[in-house]
């Protein structure tokens, strides 16, 4: 309803959604700084959706920064590069953010090394074929830097019989606290402009739209100034709303197209790529380099030296927090934003390619959300008005309470939920709705596997 009204007066957005406190003021004005190397980097083989990479170096081997240390295992997999010059001490299991153990490189950087980056074979956007670009992106180890970790090259291979007319560059950054995309757009608009032609060529799209939320007007201005002459490229400023950075919501906001349930953006002839990923492509591909670090917002109430840092992949949380300093009553460390991010169970978990932020909360804030009194559902309907895909979270929540997970999946579109957390955010009864939906999805998947 409100979405359609805003559309009527010319603003572009999607329907429903929420307005959480933006909490970006502390870091939005801070320039990106290079972060120091930790004494030990832990680089997992699986930092993306798909198959883990296969090591091509052995324990005890010396590697130089930017050197490929693992190769992709099939199409749904990407390469991994050394984030620093040093020595591979071990290749062993290490905890990841989801609480599981997975294999990773334990890389000890040489303290005296200049940490110069190894360059490879450059690729020109104007002369390369779509296949070459897709291969180069896979070889550069690039995955979606917006948090999902989906291999970017896999998105760019358009299925036979389909076509793409619009490339959407996602600079919405709707999660509170995060300012990495904001700083990248502001400080490195040229990298974004260099990256876009590769994506246009790979997908065959006629035009690209960079979508920026209105709280980053300066970033939109900086991008507009950097647009090359005659480039089929526009910058759109959207009203601020969460979860506008979700692929489905952004494409609906910009193009008014609805991705079918269970479908992909390509079904509506669009492809959506994160702006940070695009900038990284613009930085890496012309030099044939691989991904070895990324920009991360380190912030939240429990962080002392908040900022936007370029941090080597594999830097453990402990090193980051010790370097920036934390308040004494630190109690929760979130990887990603506070709406969809994951809390770390150990400080030995490293930064991976999909990490957008490290947000730390103190005891006080943690207690405010985790120990609130829960009331019964009073059918207020706030969750229905918040859900960007028009589910009925209240109804789903009632089924979840009775463990009717299959009913949720069969009759109430459980698997259309992408876990943005809007329902839980607004629920005045403090019912952990999206959390219950995660449990329900896991239960249904398990039942399907055993069936």
Partner 1 sequence: MTALRKTLTIQSSPHISAAASVDSIMFNVVLALLPVCLFAVYEFGIAALLVLFTAVASCVITEHLLCRVSGHSTTVSDWSVVITGLLYGLVLPPSLPLWMVAAGGVIAVGVGKFLFGGLGCNPFNPALVGRAILQAAFPAAMTSWPDVSSQAFGSLPSSTLALPLTKPQFDGISAATPLANWKFNQVATDTADLFLGSVSGSTGETSALLILIGGIYLVARRMMSWQIPVAILATVALCSAVLHAIDSDRFAGPLFMMYSGGLMLGAVFMATDMVASPITHLGCIAYGVLIGLLVVVIRVWGGMPEGVMYAILIGNAASPHIDHWIQPRVYGTQRGVRL
Q: What are residue 309's DSSP bridge partners?
A: 33, 296
Buried b (16+ CB within 10 A) or exposed e, 145-181: bbbebbbbbbbbebeeeeebebbbbbbbbbbbbbbbb
Helix (H, G, I), strand (E, B) or coil at 233: strand
Tokens 């229905």 sit at which residue? 384
Toward partner 1, which CB reaches closer, 55 or 300? 300
* Nearest distance in Å: CB 425, partner 1: 5
Toward partner 1, which CB reaches closer, 118 or 400? 400
* Residue 400 near residue 436 (C-beta atoms within 8 A): yes
Toward partner 1, which CB reaches closer, 221 or 419? 419
* Nearest distance in Å: CB 384, partner 1: 6
* Nearest distance in Å: CB 36, partner 1: 11
C-alpha to C-alpha distance for 414 and 115, rounded to whole angstroms: 48
Toward partner 1, which CB reaches closer, 67 or 429? 429
Toward partner 1, which CB reaches closer, 91 or 377? 377
Query: Closest Cα to residue 302, out of 358, 262, 252?
Result: 358
* Nearest distance in Å: CB 300, partner 1: 9
Query: Closest Cα to residue 437, out of 404, 396, 376, 377?
Result: 396
C-alpha to C-alpha distance for 57 and 135, rounded to whole angstroms: 21
* Residue 71 near residue 323 (C-beta atoms within 8 A): no
* Nearest distance in Å: CB 1, partner 1: 7
* Residue 180 near residue 186 (C-beta atoms within 8 A): no
* Residue 153 near residue 103 (C-beta atoms within 8 A): no
Toward partner 1, which CB reaches closer, 74 or 376? 376
* Nearest distance in Å: CB 364, partner 1: 12
């Amino acid at each position: 309803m409100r979405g359609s009204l805003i559309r009527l007066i010319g603003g572009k957005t999607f329907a429903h959604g929420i307005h959480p406190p933006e909490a970006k003021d502390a870091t939005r004005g801070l320039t990106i700084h290079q972060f120091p190397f930790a004494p030990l980097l832990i680089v997992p083989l699986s930092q993306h959706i798909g198959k883990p990479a296969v090591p091509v170096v052995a324990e005890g081997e010396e590697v130089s920064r930017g050197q490929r240390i693992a190769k992709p295992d099939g199409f749904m997999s990407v390469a991994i590069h050394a984030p620093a010059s040093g020595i591979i001490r071990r290749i062993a299991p290490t905890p990841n953010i989801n609480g599981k153990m997975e294999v990773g490189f334990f890389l000890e950087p040489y303290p005296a090394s200049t940490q110069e980056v190894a360059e490879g074979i450059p690729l020109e956007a104007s002369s390369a074929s779509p296949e070459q670009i897709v291969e180069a992106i896979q070889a550069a180890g690039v995955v979606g830097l917006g948090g999902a970790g989906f291999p970017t090259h896999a998105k760019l291979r358009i299925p036979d019989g389909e076509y793409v007319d619009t490339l959407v560059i996602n600079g919405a950054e709707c999660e509170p606290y995060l300012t990495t995309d904001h700083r990248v757009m502001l400080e490195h608009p040229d990298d974004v402009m260099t990256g876009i032609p590769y994506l246009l060529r790979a997908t065959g799209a006629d035009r690209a739209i960079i979508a920026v939320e209105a709280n980053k007007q300066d970033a939109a201005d900086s991008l507009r100034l950097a647009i090359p002459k005659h480039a089929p490229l526009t910058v759109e400023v959207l009203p601020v709303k969460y979860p506008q950075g979700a692929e489905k919501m952004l494409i609906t906001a910009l193009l008014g197209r609805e991705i079918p349930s269970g479908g992909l953006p390509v079904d509506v002839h669009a492809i959506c790529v994160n702006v940070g990923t695009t900038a990284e492509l613009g930085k890496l591909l012309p030099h044939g380099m691989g991904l070895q670090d990324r920009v991360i917002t380190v912030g939240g109430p429990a962080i002392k030296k908040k900022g936007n840092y370029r941090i080597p992949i594999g830097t453990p949380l402990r090193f980051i927090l010790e370097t920036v300093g934390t308040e004494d009553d630190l109690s929760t460390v979130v990887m990603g934003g506070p709406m969809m991010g994951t809390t770390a169970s150990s400080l030995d978990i490293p930064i991976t390619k999909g990490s957008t932020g490290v947000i730390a909360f103190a005891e006080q804030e943690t207690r405010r959300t985790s120990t609130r009194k829960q009331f019964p559902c009073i059918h207020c309907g706030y969750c229905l008005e918040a859900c960007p895909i028009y589910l009925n979270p209240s109804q789903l929540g009632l089924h979840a309470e009775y463990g009717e997970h299959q009913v949720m999946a069969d009759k109430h579109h459980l698997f259309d939920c992408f876990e943005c957390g809007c329902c839980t955010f607004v629920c005045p009864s403090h019912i952990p709705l999206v959390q219950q939906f995660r449990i329900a999805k896991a239960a249904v998947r398990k039942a399907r596997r055993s069936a």
